[in-house]
Amino acid sequence: MTNDSSLTEDQTAKVIALAMDLAREGKSAELADFLDHGISVDVQDAEGNTLLMLAAYKGQADAVSMLISRGANVDIRNARDQSPIAGALFKGEDAVAALLVAAGADLDAGTPSARAAAAMFGREHLLG
């Protein structure tokens, strides 16, 4: 979360889990409150997923946009080497993919890469 947290390790894990749920559910305003109170925009869960990864995978375009505007790193890959852009392409989340491309997501990083995911699912047109 932050370097100056007075929370226990268990409490910190619970706060991170709540933030991850907000990202999945696309609750941008509530998620922004968590960011305003010190949670890192690039916080990762035990599987290496970021808030952006989960919002992208679930097609939460408003949350993705808010996280990008707050400085989220669009290229952080999870423990399975998956990127937010590849996840969005895999799930058919065109609006999210467009946001990530516009934010400069690396189309060649990860397994599979965004280019490979787009080719697999006929979504090459989303890569610009």
Domains of the chain, by residue range, sit at 9-127
Residue 20 has pLDDT above 60, yes or no: yes
Query: Nearest 5°: phi and psi at 50?
Result: -95, 170
Query: What is the pLDDT, as a whole number, of residue 126?
Result: 86
71: tokens are 């400085």
pTM over 0.85: yes
Phi, psi (degrees; rounded to nearest 5) at 16: -60, -45
Integer Cα distance of 128 and 102 in angstroms: 9
pLDDT of residue 1: 54
Indicate the Cα dihedral angle 77, 92, 41, 30, nearest 10°: -150
Region 7-34: mean pLDDT is 96
- pLDDT 10s digits, 93-126: 999 999 999 999 999 999 999 999 999 999 998 8
- Paired strand residues for 50: 44
Give the whole-angstrom CA distance, residue 17 versus residue 20.
Answer: 5
Look over the chain and give the mean of its residue pLDDT values, rounded to a whole number: 94
Query: CATH assignment of 9-127, given 1.10.287.70, 1.25.40.20, 3.30.70.3450, 3.40.50.300?
Result: 1.25.40.20
Cα-based angle 120, 72, 30 (whole degrees, multiple of 5)? 105
In 3D space, the residue among 82, 92, 88, 91 whose CA is nearest the CA of residue 113 turns out to be 82
Q: What is the pLDDT of residues 28-81, one digit of tens each?
A: 999 999 999 999 999 999 999 999 999 999 999 999 999 999 999 999 999 999
- Give the pLDDT of residue 127: 87
